A and B are shown apart, each in its own frame.
Chain A
Amino acid sequence: MNALTPFPDAVPLAAASSQPDPREDASRPHGAAIAFSGVTKRFAAKGAAAEVVALDDVTLDVAPGSITGIIGRSGAGKSTLLRTINGLDRPTAGTVRIDGLDVGALDGADLRALRREIGMIFQHFALLSSRTVFDNIALPLELAGTPRGEIARRVDELIELVGLTDKRGRYPAELSGGQKQRVGIARALATRPRVLLSDEATSALDPETTRSILALLKRINTLTGVTIVLITHEMQVIKEICDRVAVIEAGRIIEAGDVYEVFARPQADTTRSFVASVTGAALPEAIAARLQPDPDGASQTGLRIVFTGENATTPVISRLSRSLDVDVTVLAGQVDAIAGKPFGNLIVAIPARPDVVDAVVALAGAHGLQAEVLGHVA
Protein backbone atom coordinates (compact mmCIF):
# COMPACT_ATOMS: atom_id res chain seq x y z
CA MET A 1 0.00 0.00 0.00
CA ASN A 2 1.40 3.33 -1.01
CA ALA A 3 1.87 5.19 2.24
CA LEU A 4 1.37 8.54 0.56
CA THR A 5 -2.08 7.68 -0.68
CA PRO A 6 -4.52 7.82 2.22
CA PHE A 7 -7.33 6.20 0.27
CA PRO A 8 -6.05 3.89 -2.43
CA ASP A 9 -8.91 2.78 -4.64
CA ALA A 10 -8.07 -0.87 -4.43
CA VAL A 11 -8.43 -1.14 -0.66
CA PRO A 12 -11.97 -1.89 0.45
CA LEU A 13 -13.12 0.67 3.00
CA ALA A 14 -13.50 -1.33 6.17
CA ALA A 15 -10.53 -3.53 5.38
CA ALA A 16 -8.23 -0.50 5.38
CA SER A 17 -7.49 -0.94 9.05
CA SER A 18 -4.05 0.66 9.00
CA GLN A 19 -3.99 4.35 9.80
CA PRO A 20 -3.99 6.77 6.91
CA ASP A 21 -0.81 8.74 6.67
CA PRO A 22 -1.36 11.97 8.58
CA ARG A 23 0.95 14.05 6.40
CA GLU A 24 -0.67 16.43 3.99
CA ASP A 25 -1.00 14.74 0.71
CA ALA A 26 -0.58 16.16 -2.76
CA SER A 27 -2.81 13.59 -4.41
CA ARG A 28 -6.48 14.40 -4.08
CA PRO A 29 -8.33 11.77 -2.05
CA HIS A 30 -11.35 10.42 -3.80
CA GLY A 31 -14.80 10.74 -2.40
CA ALA A 32 -16.74 7.53 -2.19
CA ALA A 33 -19.82 6.62 -4.21
CA ILE A 34 -22.94 5.82 -2.24
CA ALA A 35 -25.72 3.64 -3.62
CA PHE A 36 -29.08 3.20 -1.91
CA SER A 37 -31.01 0.27 -3.27
CA GLY A 38 -34.60 -0.39 -2.23
CA VAL A 39 -33.91 0.99 1.25
CA THR A 40 -36.90 0.65 3.54
CA LYS A 41 -36.89 1.50 7.22
CA ARG A 42 -39.76 0.72 9.55
CA PHE A 43 -39.82 1.69 13.19
CA ALA A 44 -41.79 -0.84 15.20
CA ALA A 45 -45.02 0.23 16.87
CA LYS A 46 -44.45 1.45 20.42
CA GLY A 47 -47.38 1.47 22.82
CA ALA A 48 -50.13 3.57 21.32
CA ALA A 49 -47.92 4.78 18.44
CA ALA A 50 -48.43 2.88 15.21
CA GLU A 51 -45.60 1.47 13.13
CA VAL A 52 -43.77 4.19 11.23
CA VAL A 53 -42.43 3.71 7.74
CA ALA A 54 -39.59 6.23 7.69
CA LEU A 55 -38.14 5.14 4.37
CA ASP A 56 -40.09 3.45 1.64
CA ASP A 57 -38.08 1.69 -1.07
CA VAL A 58 -35.48 4.40 -1.61
CA THR A 59 -33.15 3.91 -4.55
CA LEU A 60 -30.64 6.66 -5.15
CA ASP A 61 -27.09 7.00 -6.40
CA VAL A 62 -24.70 9.54 -4.98
CA ALA A 63 -21.80 10.28 -7.32
CA PRO A 64 -18.28 10.22 -5.86
CA GLY A 65 -17.01 13.72 -5.09
CA SER A 66 -20.42 15.31 -5.50
CA ILE A 67 -22.35 17.50 -3.11
CA THR A 68 -25.74 15.87 -2.96
CA GLY A 69 -28.60 17.48 -1.13
CA ILE A 70 -31.60 15.64 0.24
CA ILE A 71 -34.44 18.02 0.91
CA GLY A 72 -37.70 17.34 2.65
CA ARG A 73 -40.01 18.66 5.30
CA SER A 74 -39.61 17.49 8.88
CA GLY A 75 -40.66 13.88 9.29
CA ALA A 76 -40.09 13.11 5.62
CA GLY A 77 -37.39 10.58 6.47
CA LYS A 78 -34.33 12.52 5.36
CA SER A 79 -32.53 12.16 8.67
CA THR A 80 -33.10 8.40 8.73
CA LEU A 81 -31.83 8.16 5.16
CA LEU A 82 -28.64 10.01 6.10
CA ARG A 83 -28.12 7.80 9.14
CA THR A 84 -28.26 4.61 7.09
CA ILE A 85 -25.03 5.74 5.40
CA ASN A 86 -22.94 5.34 8.55
CA GLY A 87 -25.08 2.61 10.07
CA LEU A 88 -26.58 4.69 12.87
CA ASP A 89 -29.87 3.42 11.48
CA ARG A 90 -30.10 0.07 9.75
CA PRO A 91 -32.48 -0.50 6.86
CA THR A 92 -35.29 -2.98 7.45
CA ALA A 93 -34.91 -3.97 3.81
CA GLY A 94 -32.61 -2.98 0.97
CA THR A 95 -28.94 -2.08 1.00
CA VAL A 96 -26.71 0.95 1.29
CA ARG A 97 -23.34 0.49 -0.39
CA ILE A 98 -20.33 2.75 -0.08
CA ASP A 99 -17.97 2.06 -2.97
CA GLY A 100 -19.63 -1.33 -3.19
CA LEU A 101 -19.31 -2.12 0.51
CA ASP A 102 -22.63 -3.12 2.10
CA VAL A 103 -22.96 -1.01 5.28
CA GLY A 104 -25.70 -3.24 6.67
CA ALA A 105 -23.42 -6.28 6.60
CA LEU A 106 -20.82 -4.64 8.85
CA ASP A 107 -20.66 -5.02 12.58
CA GLY A 108 -18.43 -4.20 15.50
CA ALA A 109 -14.87 -3.26 14.53
CA ASP A 110 -15.61 -3.26 10.78
CA LEU A 111 -18.46 -0.81 11.23
CA ARG A 112 -16.31 1.42 13.45
CA ALA A 113 -13.54 1.36 10.84
CA LEU A 114 -16.04 2.43 8.19
CA ARG A 115 -17.38 5.20 10.41
CA ARG A 116 -13.87 6.65 10.69
CA GLU A 117 -14.04 7.19 6.95
CA ILE A 118 -17.37 8.98 7.19
CA GLY A 119 -17.40 12.35 8.91
CA MET A 120 -20.64 13.79 10.24
CA ILE A 121 -21.75 17.26 11.29
CA PHE A 122 -24.86 18.09 13.24
CA GLN A 123 -27.49 20.80 13.56
CA HIS A 124 -26.64 21.36 17.21
CA PHE A 125 -22.91 20.80 16.66
CA ALA A 126 -22.55 17.97 19.23
CA LEU A 127 -19.31 19.36 20.64
CA LEU A 128 -17.98 18.25 24.01
CA SER A 129 -18.36 21.14 26.43
CA SER A 130 -15.50 19.78 28.53
CA ARG A 131 -12.99 19.95 25.68
CA THR A 132 -11.29 22.88 24.01
CA VAL A 133 -11.53 23.53 20.29
CA PHE A 134 -8.25 21.67 19.82
CA ASP A 135 -9.31 18.68 21.93
CA ASN A 136 -12.73 18.46 20.27
CA ILE A 137 -11.11 18.21 16.87
CA ALA A 138 -8.59 15.71 18.24
CA LEU A 139 -11.29 13.39 19.58
CA PRO A 140 -11.83 11.20 16.48
CA LEU A 141 -8.05 10.81 16.15
CA GLU A 142 -7.75 9.82 19.82
CA LEU A 143 -10.52 7.29 19.31
CA ALA A 144 -8.61 5.87 16.36
CA GLY A 145 -5.44 5.57 18.44
CA THR A 146 -3.43 8.10 16.45
CA PRO A 147 -0.08 9.01 18.08
CA ARG A 148 -0.06 12.30 19.98
CA GLY A 149 2.39 14.12 17.72
CA GLU A 150 0.43 13.31 14.61
CA ILE A 151 -2.79 14.42 16.29
CA ALA A 152 -1.26 17.80 17.11
CA ARG A 153 -0.07 18.32 13.55
CA ARG A 154 -3.34 17.27 11.95
CA VAL A 155 -5.51 19.28 14.35
CA ASP A 156 -3.49 22.45 13.82
CA GLU A 157 -3.86 21.98 10.07
CA LEU A 158 -7.63 21.65 10.44
CA ILE A 159 -7.92 24.62 12.79
CA GLU A 160 -6.23 26.69 10.13
CA LEU A 161 -8.42 25.26 7.38
CA VAL A 162 -11.62 26.31 9.16
CA GLY A 163 -10.18 29.66 10.25
CA LEU A 164 -10.17 29.26 14.03
CA THR A 165 -6.48 29.69 14.76
CA ASP A 166 -7.18 32.25 17.48
CA LYS A 167 -9.73 29.98 19.18
CA ARG A 168 -7.48 26.94 19.59
CA GLY A 169 -7.69 26.78 23.40
CA ARG A 170 -11.25 28.05 23.81
CA TYR A 171 -14.21 26.02 25.03
CA PRO A 172 -17.41 25.64 22.96
CA ALA A 173 -19.33 27.83 25.42
CA GLU A 174 -17.09 30.71 24.36
CA LEU A 175 -17.84 30.34 20.65
CA SER A 176 -20.60 31.61 18.36
CA GLY A 177 -22.83 29.16 16.48
CA GLY A 178 -20.86 29.58 13.27
CA GLN A 179 -17.57 29.00 15.08
CA LYS A 180 -19.00 25.89 16.76
CA GLN A 181 -20.01 24.49 13.39
CA ARG A 182 -16.51 25.18 12.07
CA VAL A 183 -15.16 23.09 14.93
CA GLY A 184 -17.71 20.41 14.02
CA ILE A 185 -16.53 20.45 10.41
CA ALA A 186 -12.86 20.28 11.40
CA ARG A 187 -13.64 17.37 13.71
CA ALA A 188 -15.55 15.57 10.98
CA LEU A 189 -12.58 15.92 8.65
CA ALA A 190 -9.95 14.85 11.18
CA THR A 191 -9.70 11.24 10.01
CA ARG A 192 -9.67 12.29 6.33
CA PRO A 193 -13.05 10.79 5.54
CA ARG A 194 -14.22 9.90 2.05
CA VAL A 195 -17.76 10.95 2.86
CA LEU A 196 -19.04 13.91 4.86
CA LEU A 197 -22.60 13.75 6.16
CA SER A 198 -24.32 16.98 7.11
CA ASP A 199 -27.44 16.71 9.26
CA GLU A 200 -29.15 20.12 8.95
CA ALA A 201 -25.78 21.70 9.72
CA THR A 202 -26.90 25.25 9.01
CA SER A 203 -30.46 25.11 10.33
CA ALA A 204 -29.52 26.64 13.67
CA LEU A 205 -27.51 29.46 12.08
CA ASP A 206 -28.42 32.91 10.79
CA PRO A 207 -28.41 33.50 7.00
CA GLU A 208 -25.01 35.21 6.94
CA THR A 209 -23.32 32.46 8.97
CA THR A 210 -25.13 29.84 6.90
CA ARG A 211 -23.54 31.24 3.77
CA SER A 212 -20.06 31.20 5.25
CA ILE A 213 -20.46 27.61 6.47
CA LEU A 214 -21.79 26.51 3.07
CA ALA A 215 -18.87 28.25 1.37
CA LEU A 216 -16.50 26.35 3.66
CA LEU A 217 -18.16 23.03 2.81
CA LYS A 218 -17.91 23.84 -0.88
CA ARG A 219 -14.22 24.72 -0.51
CA ILE A 220 -13.52 21.49 1.36
CA ASN A 221 -15.31 19.52 -1.35
CA THR A 222 -13.21 21.17 -4.03
CA LEU A 223 -10.01 20.80 -2.01
CA THR A 224 -10.33 17.18 -0.90
CA GLY A 225 -12.88 15.68 -3.25
CA VAL A 226 -14.85 14.33 -0.29
CA THR A 227 -18.39 13.27 -1.19
CA ILE A 228 -20.81 15.45 0.75
CA VAL A 229 -24.35 14.31 1.49
CA LEU A 230 -26.41 16.91 3.25
CA ILE A 231 -29.97 17.01 4.40
CA THR A 232 -31.91 20.21 4.77
CA HIS A 233 -35.37 21.68 4.67
CA GLU A 234 -34.09 24.87 3.07
CA MET A 235 -33.90 25.09 -0.71
CA GLN A 236 -31.44 27.95 -0.27
CA VAL A 237 -28.84 25.42 0.92
CA ILE A 238 -29.40 23.22 -2.11
CA LYS A 239 -29.22 26.22 -4.41
CA GLU A 240 -26.03 27.49 -2.82
CA ILE A 241 -23.75 24.45 -2.97
CA CYS A 242 -25.34 21.25 -4.24
CA ASP A 243 -24.67 19.58 -7.59
CA ARG A 244 -27.41 17.02 -7.20
CA VAL A 245 -30.65 17.05 -5.27
CA ALA A 246 -33.18 14.48 -4.15
CA VAL A 247 -36.58 15.49 -2.84
CA ILE A 248 -37.99 13.19 -0.19
CA GLU A 249 -41.58 13.04 0.96
CA ALA A 250 -43.23 10.48 3.23
CA GLY A 251 -40.14 8.28 3.01
CA ARG A 252 -40.04 8.24 -0.78
CA ILE A 253 -37.74 10.01 -3.21
CA ILE A 254 -40.23 11.89 -5.35
CA GLU A 255 -37.71 13.64 -7.51
CA ALA A 256 -33.96 13.51 -8.02
CA GLY A 257 -31.47 14.92 -10.42
CA ASP A 258 -29.11 17.68 -11.34
CA VAL A 259 -29.87 20.76 -9.19
CA TYR A 260 -30.16 23.05 -12.18
CA GLU A 261 -32.56 20.69 -13.94
CA VAL A 262 -34.75 20.33 -10.87
CA PHE A 263 -34.88 24.10 -10.40
CA ALA A 264 -35.66 24.68 -14.04
CA ARG A 265 -38.23 21.92 -14.43
CA PRO A 266 -39.61 20.79 -11.06
CA GLN A 267 -42.05 17.92 -11.56
CA ALA A 268 -43.69 17.24 -8.20
CA ASP A 269 -45.79 19.79 -6.30
CA THR A 270 -43.57 19.61 -3.25
CA THR A 271 -40.53 20.29 -5.38
CA ARG A 272 -42.28 23.25 -6.99
CA SER A 273 -43.03 24.78 -3.64
CA PHE A 274 -39.44 24.25 -2.49
CA VAL A 275 -38.16 25.82 -5.69
CA ALA A 276 -40.61 28.71 -5.43
CA SER A 277 -39.35 29.39 -1.89
CA VAL A 278 -36.01 30.59 -3.24
CA THR A 279 -36.53 31.65 -6.83
CA GLY A 280 -39.02 34.41 -6.16
CA ALA A 281 -41.31 32.56 -8.55
CA ALA A 282 -44.41 32.82 -6.45
CA LEU A 283 -47.33 35.05 -7.28
CA PRO A 284 -47.96 37.93 -4.89
CA GLU A 285 -50.49 36.76 -2.28
CA ALA A 286 -53.21 39.22 -3.32
CA ILE A 287 -53.14 38.00 -6.89
CA ALA A 288 -52.77 34.32 -6.04
CA ALA A 289 -55.99 34.53 -4.01
CA ARG A 290 -57.94 35.82 -7.00
CA LEU A 291 -56.54 33.31 -9.48
CA GLN A 292 -59.09 31.15 -11.31
CA PRO A 293 -58.33 28.15 -13.51
CA ASP A 294 -61.04 29.12 -15.99
CA PRO A 295 -60.25 31.88 -18.54
CA ASP A 296 -63.97 32.80 -18.94
CA GLY A 297 -64.62 36.37 -17.94
CA ALA A 298 -60.97 36.94 -17.05
CA SER A 299 -59.18 40.07 -18.10
CA GLN A 300 -55.61 39.01 -17.38
CA THR A 301 -53.67 35.75 -17.59
CA GLY A 302 -50.78 35.00 -15.22
CA LEU A 303 -47.77 33.43 -16.84
CA ARG A 304 -44.53 32.05 -15.46
CA ILE A 305 -41.53 32.36 -17.73
CA VAL A 306 -38.42 30.41 -16.77
CA PHE A 307 -35.07 31.51 -18.17
CA THR A 308 -32.35 28.91 -18.12
CA GLY A 309 -28.82 28.45 -19.33
CA GLU A 310 -27.62 30.71 -22.12
CA ASN A 311 -31.20 31.91 -22.63
CA ALA A 312 -31.33 33.37 -19.14
CA THR A 313 -30.42 36.80 -20.43
CA THR A 314 -32.79 36.91 -23.42
CA PRO A 315 -34.63 40.25 -23.48
CA VAL A 316 -37.89 38.43 -24.04
CA ILE A 317 -40.25 40.96 -22.48
CA SER A 318 -39.28 43.77 -24.81
CA ARG A 319 -39.51 41.40 -27.76
CA LEU A 320 -42.98 40.29 -26.69
CA SER A 321 -44.22 43.85 -26.53
CA ARG A 322 -42.58 44.76 -29.78
CA SER A 323 -43.33 41.79 -32.02
CA LEU A 324 -46.74 40.85 -30.61
CA ASP A 325 -47.83 44.29 -29.48
CA VAL A 326 -48.85 42.86 -26.11
CA ASP A 327 -48.86 44.79 -22.85
CA VAL A 328 -46.85 42.81 -20.32
CA THR A 329 -47.08 43.54 -16.59
CA VAL A 330 -44.27 42.12 -14.48
CA LEU A 331 -45.64 40.79 -11.15
CA ALA A 332 -42.61 39.06 -9.68
CA GLY A 333 -39.21 38.04 -10.82
CA GLN A 334 -35.69 37.15 -9.89
CA VAL A 335 -32.48 36.34 -11.68
CA ASP A 336 -30.17 34.10 -9.75
CA ALA A 337 -27.27 31.73 -10.02
CA ILE A 338 -28.07 28.12 -9.35
CA ALA A 339 -25.30 25.56 -9.25
CA GLY A 340 -23.19 28.33 -10.78
CA LYS A 341 -25.44 28.87 -13.81
CA PRO A 342 -27.76 31.82 -14.40
CA PHE A 343 -31.41 31.14 -13.73
CA GLY A 344 -34.30 33.58 -14.09
CA ASN A 345 -37.89 33.37 -13.13
CA LEU A 346 -40.50 35.89 -14.12
CA ILE A 347 -44.18 36.08 -13.41
CA VAL A 348 -46.09 38.34 -15.76
CA ALA A 349 -49.66 39.23 -16.59
CA ILE A 350 -50.87 39.51 -20.19
CA PRO A 351 -54.37 40.12 -21.63
CA ALA A 352 -56.53 37.02 -21.19
CA ARG A 353 -57.17 36.31 -24.83
CA PRO A 354 -56.48 32.74 -26.04
CA ASP A 355 -54.74 33.92 -29.21
CA VAL A 356 -52.46 36.27 -27.25
CA VAL A 357 -51.61 33.63 -24.65
CA ASP A 358 -50.80 31.04 -27.29
CA ALA A 359 -48.67 33.51 -29.22
CA VAL A 360 -46.71 34.49 -26.12
CA VAL A 361 -46.10 30.86 -25.12
CA ALA A 362 -44.98 30.07 -28.65
CA LEU A 363 -42.63 33.05 -28.81
CA ALA A 364 -41.07 32.15 -25.47
CA GLY A 365 -40.61 28.60 -26.72
CA ALA A 366 -38.92 29.91 -29.84
CA HIS A 367 -36.36 31.63 -27.59
CA GLY A 368 -35.71 28.44 -25.69
CA LEU A 369 -37.64 29.56 -22.62
CA GLN A 370 -40.49 27.83 -20.89
CA ALA A 371 -43.75 29.61 -20.32
CA GLU A 372 -46.47 28.17 -18.15
CA VAL A 373 -49.99 29.48 -17.59
CA LEU A 374 -50.61 29.87 -13.85
CA GLY A 375 -54.26 30.97 -14.07
CA HIS A 376 -56.53 33.84 -14.88
CA VAL A 377 -57.68 36.91 -13.03
CA ALA A 378 -60.99 38.64 -13.60
Chain B
Amino acid sequence: MSPEIARLLVEALGQTLYMVAAAGLIGTALGLPLGVFLATSGRGELFEAVALNRVLGLVVNATRSTPFIILVVAIIPFTRLVAGTSIGTTAAIVPLTVAATPFIARIIEAAIREVDAGLIEASRAMGATPLQIVGKVLLPEALPAIVLGLTLTAVSLIGYSAMVGAVGGGGLGDLGIRFGYQRFMPEVMAAVVIVLIALVQAVQSLGDWIARRVNRRLRSA
Protein backbone atom coordinates (compact mmCIF):
# COMPACT_ATOMS: atom_id res chain seq x y z
CA MET B 1 0.00 0.00 0.00
CA SER B 2 1.39 3.37 -1.00
CA PRO B 3 2.04 5.99 1.65
CA GLU B 4 -0.54 8.12 -0.13
CA ILE B 5 -3.26 5.50 0.46
CA ALA B 6 -2.14 5.05 4.07
CA ARG B 7 -2.47 8.81 4.58
CA LEU B 8 -6.01 8.70 3.09
CA LEU B 9 -6.91 5.81 5.39
CA VAL B 10 -5.79 7.68 8.50
CA GLU B 11 -7.62 10.79 7.37
CA ALA B 12 -10.80 8.78 6.70
CA LEU B 13 -10.59 7.10 10.09
CA GLY B 14 -10.29 10.53 11.71
CA GLN B 15 -13.37 11.74 9.82
CA THR B 16 -15.37 8.69 10.83
CA LEU B 17 -14.39 9.06 14.48
CA TYR B 18 -15.21 12.77 14.38
CA MET B 19 -18.65 12.24 12.83
CA VAL B 20 -19.60 9.30 15.04
CA ALA B 21 -18.39 10.96 18.23
CA ALA B 22 -20.10 14.27 17.49
CA ALA B 23 -23.38 12.67 16.39
CA GLY B 24 -23.23 10.27 19.34
CA LEU B 25 -22.66 13.04 21.88
CA ILE B 26 -25.23 15.46 20.48
CA GLY B 27 -27.65 12.56 19.91
CA THR B 28 -27.26 11.50 23.53
CA ALA B 29 -27.71 15.06 24.78
CA LEU B 30 -31.00 15.23 22.87
CA GLY B 31 -32.07 11.59 23.09
CA LEU B 32 -31.54 11.21 26.84
CA PRO B 33 -34.16 13.73 27.94
CA LEU B 34 -36.45 12.58 25.14
CA GLY B 35 -36.10 8.95 26.21
CA VAL B 36 -36.66 9.81 29.87
CA PHE B 37 -39.77 11.74 28.90
CA LEU B 38 -41.10 8.91 26.73
CA ALA B 39 -40.57 6.48 29.62
CA THR B 40 -42.22 8.65 32.26
CA SER B 41 -45.07 10.51 30.57
CA GLY B 42 -47.56 7.69 30.00
CA ARG B 43 -50.84 7.45 31.86
CA GLY B 44 -50.37 7.43 35.61
CA GLU B 45 -46.61 7.99 35.32
CA LEU B 46 -44.33 10.60 36.89
CA PHE B 47 -44.71 13.33 34.27
CA GLU B 48 -48.08 12.27 32.87
CA ALA B 49 -48.63 13.95 29.48
CA VAL B 50 -50.36 11.36 27.37
CA ALA B 51 -50.97 13.47 24.27
CA LEU B 52 -47.41 14.79 24.07
CA ASN B 53 -46.10 11.28 24.70
CA ARG B 54 -48.10 10.01 21.71
CA VAL B 55 -46.97 12.83 19.41
CA LEU B 56 -43.30 12.40 20.31
CA GLY B 57 -43.63 8.65 19.93
CA LEU B 58 -44.98 9.15 16.39
CA VAL B 59 -42.16 11.56 15.46
CA VAL B 60 -39.59 9.13 16.79
CA ASN B 61 -41.11 6.25 14.84
CA ALA B 62 -41.33 8.30 11.65
CA THR B 63 -37.66 9.25 11.86
CA ARG B 64 -36.63 5.72 12.61
CA SER B 65 -38.61 4.25 9.74
CA THR B 66 -36.97 6.52 7.16
CA PRO B 67 -34.00 4.77 5.49
CA PHE B 68 -30.84 6.67 6.43
CA ILE B 69 -29.71 7.44 2.89
CA ILE B 70 -33.15 8.99 2.20
CA LEU B 71 -32.96 10.94 5.46
CA VAL B 72 -29.56 12.35 4.48
CA VAL B 73 -30.86 13.93 1.27
CA ALA B 74 -34.36 14.70 2.53
CA ILE B 75 -33.12 17.00 5.29
CA ILE B 76 -30.52 18.84 3.22
CA PRO B 77 -32.32 22.21 3.72
CA PHE B 78 -32.30 21.62 7.48
CA THR B 79 -28.63 20.62 7.36
CA ARG B 80 -27.82 23.86 5.51
CA LEU B 81 -29.74 25.83 8.12
CA VAL B 82 -27.86 24.24 11.02
CA ALA B 83 -24.35 23.74 9.61
CA GLY B 84 -24.32 26.59 7.08
CA THR B 85 -23.56 24.08 4.31
CA SER B 86 -24.94 20.75 3.22
CA ILE B 87 -21.62 19.37 2.04
CA GLY B 88 -18.66 18.04 4.05
CA THR B 89 -17.80 16.14 7.18
CA THR B 90 -19.24 18.63 9.65
CA ALA B 91 -22.47 18.95 7.68
CA ALA B 92 -22.79 15.14 7.72
CA ILE B 93 -23.04 15.27 11.50
CA VAL B 94 -26.52 16.77 11.15
CA PRO B 95 -28.26 13.80 9.46
CA LEU B 96 -26.28 11.38 11.64
CA THR B 97 -27.54 13.19 14.75
CA VAL B 98 -31.09 13.28 13.43
CA ALA B 99 -30.92 9.51 12.95
CA ALA B 100 -29.18 8.84 16.26
CA THR B 101 -31.46 10.91 18.52
CA PRO B 102 -34.69 8.86 18.21
CA PHE B 103 -32.65 5.65 18.30
CA ILE B 104 -31.03 6.71 21.58
CA ALA B 105 -34.36 7.94 22.93
CA ARG B 106 -35.93 4.51 22.41
CA ILE B 107 -32.94 2.81 24.00
CA ILE B 108 -33.10 5.06 27.06
CA GLU B 109 -36.85 4.58 27.25
CA ALA B 110 -36.53 0.80 27.16
CA ALA B 111 -33.74 0.84 29.76
CA ILE B 112 -35.79 2.99 32.15
CA ARG B 113 -38.90 0.89 31.70
CA GLU B 114 -36.88 -2.12 32.81
CA VAL B 115 -36.32 -0.53 36.23
CA ASP B 116 -38.51 -2.21 38.84
CA ALA B 117 -41.68 -0.17 39.39
CA GLY B 118 -41.32 -0.97 43.10
CA LEU B 119 -38.31 1.37 43.21
CA ILE B 120 -40.37 4.27 41.86
CA GLU B 121 -43.01 3.59 44.47
CA ALA B 122 -40.39 3.34 47.23
CA SER B 123 -38.87 6.65 46.13
CA ARG B 124 -42.27 8.32 46.14
CA ALA B 125 -42.85 6.96 49.62
CA MET B 126 -39.54 8.57 50.65
CA GLY B 127 -40.79 11.96 49.51
CA ALA B 128 -38.72 12.17 46.31
CA THR B 129 -39.69 14.71 43.64
CA PRO B 130 -40.21 13.34 40.11
CA LEU B 131 -36.89 14.87 39.02
CA GLN B 132 -35.12 13.26 41.98
CA ILE B 133 -36.64 9.93 41.03
CA VAL B 134 -35.22 10.29 37.52
CA GLY B 135 -31.80 11.51 38.62
CA LYS B 136 -31.20 9.41 41.72
CA VAL B 137 -33.11 6.24 40.96
CA LEU B 138 -34.13 5.64 37.35
CA LEU B 139 -30.96 6.70 35.51
CA PRO B 140 -28.47 5.08 37.93
CA GLU B 141 -30.48 1.85 37.98
CA ALA B 142 -30.81 1.83 34.18
CA LEU B 143 -27.15 2.74 33.62
CA PRO B 144 -25.84 -0.71 32.62
CA ALA B 145 -28.59 -1.06 29.99
CA ILE B 146 -28.04 2.52 28.84
CA VAL B 147 -24.29 1.95 28.37
CA LEU B 148 -24.95 -1.17 26.28
CA GLY B 149 -27.58 0.73 24.29
CA LEU B 150 -25.21 3.62 23.58
CA THR B 151 -22.59 1.13 22.47
CA LEU B 152 -25.10 -0.30 20.03
CA THR B 153 -25.83 3.24 18.84
CA ALA B 154 -22.12 3.93 18.26
CA VAL B 155 -21.77 0.77 16.19
CA SER B 156 -24.84 1.69 14.13
CA LEU B 157 -23.48 5.20 13.61
CA ILE B 158 -20.23 3.77 12.29
CA GLY B 159 -22.34 1.90 9.73
CA TYR B 160 -24.46 4.95 8.89
CA SER B 161 -21.36 7.10 8.48
CA ALA B 162 -20.40 5.02 5.46
CA MET B 163 -23.38 6.51 3.64
CA VAL B 164 -22.62 10.18 4.19
CA GLY B 165 -20.12 10.02 1.36
CA ALA B 166 -23.23 10.85 -0.68
CA VAL B 167 -23.06 14.40 0.66
CA GLY B 168 -19.26 14.65 0.75
CA GLY B 169 -18.98 13.61 4.36
CA GLY B 170 -15.86 11.54 3.82
CA GLY B 171 -14.91 8.82 6.26
CA LEU B 172 -13.94 5.18 5.91
CA GLY B 173 -17.03 4.03 4.01
CA ASP B 174 -16.61 6.80 1.47
CA LEU B 175 -12.94 5.87 1.00
CA GLY B 176 -13.90 2.28 0.38
CA ILE B 177 -16.51 3.23 -2.23
CA ARG B 178 -14.44 5.85 -4.09
CA PHE B 179 -11.08 4.07 -4.12
CA GLY B 180 -11.79 0.42 -3.45
CA TYR B 181 -14.85 0.15 -5.72
CA GLN B 182 -14.84 3.00 -8.23
CA ARG B 183 -11.06 2.96 -8.84
CA PHE B 184 -10.71 -0.84 -8.69
CA MET B 185 -8.32 -0.88 -5.71
CA PRO B 186 -9.30 -4.04 -3.80
CA GLU B 187 -6.44 -3.59 -1.31
CA VAL B 188 -8.00 -0.26 -0.23
CA MET B 189 -11.38 -1.93 0.17
CA ALA B 190 -9.76 -4.69 2.27
CA ALA B 191 -7.93 -2.15 4.42
CA VAL B 192 -11.14 -0.17 4.99
CA VAL B 193 -13.05 -3.28 5.98
CA ILE B 194 -10.31 -4.40 8.36
CA VAL B 195 -10.15 -0.97 10.03
CA LEU B 196 -13.94 -0.90 10.35
CA ILE B 197 -14.01 -4.36 11.92
CA ALA B 198 -11.28 -3.39 14.36
CA LEU B 199 -13.09 -0.13 15.19
CA VAL B 200 -16.44 -1.81 15.86
CA GLN B 201 -14.73 -4.48 17.91
CA ALA B 202 -12.96 -1.86 20.01
CA VAL B 203 -16.13 0.16 20.58
CA GLN B 204 -18.10 -2.94 21.55
CA SER B 205 -15.41 -4.18 23.94
CA LEU B 206 -15.16 -0.78 25.58
CA GLY B 207 -18.95 -0.61 25.97
CA ASP B 208 -19.13 -4.12 27.43
CA TRP B 209 -16.33 -3.31 29.87
CA ILE B 210 -18.00 -0.12 31.11
CA ALA B 211 -21.38 -1.85 31.39
CA ARG B 212 -19.82 -4.58 33.50
CA ARG B 213 -18.14 -1.99 35.70
CA VAL B 214 -21.40 -0.15 36.41
CA ASN B 215 -23.53 -3.26 36.83
CA ARG B 216 -23.77 -4.19 40.52
CA ARG B 217 -26.55 -6.67 40.02
CA LEU B 218 -24.71 -9.83 39.11
CA ARG B 219 -21.65 -9.43 41.28
CA SER B 220 -20.73 -12.56 43.10
CA ALA B 221 -20.28 -12.18 46.83
Contact = CB atoms under 8 A, between A and B. Distances in A.
B137 A128 contact: yes
B124 interface: yes
Interface in B61-77: none
B141 interface: yes
Interface string B115-128: 01011011111111
A198 to B, nearest CB: 12
Interface in B185-221: 214, 216-221
Contact of B136 (A116, A118, A143): A143
B contact residues, range: 20 to 34
B119 A126 contact: yes
B121 A112 contact: no
27 contacts: A88-B121, A111-B127, A115-B124, A115-B125, A116-B126, A118-B125, A120-B122, A122-B122, A124-B116, A124-B118, A126-B118, A130-B140, A130-B141, A140-B126, A140-B127, A142-B136, A143-B126, A143-B128, A143-B129, A143-B132, A144-B127, A172-B216, A173-B221, A174-B220, A187-B126, A191-B126, A197-B125
B126 to A, nearest CB: 4
Interface residues of A, number: 29
A227 interface: no
Interface string B121-162: 111111111001000110011010000000000000000000
Q: Is the interface of A mostly helix, strand, loop or mixed?
A: mixed
Interface of B: 116, 118-119, 121-129, 132, 136-137, 140-141, 143, 214, 216-221
A316 interface: no
Contacts of B137: 128
Given A143-B132, A174-B219, A128 B140 contact: yes
Contacts of B143: 130
A131 B122 contact: no
Contacts of A131: 140, 216
Interface in A76-117: 86, 88, 111-116
B128 A173 contact: no
Contact of A139 (B116, B124, B126): B126
Contacts of A122: 118, 122
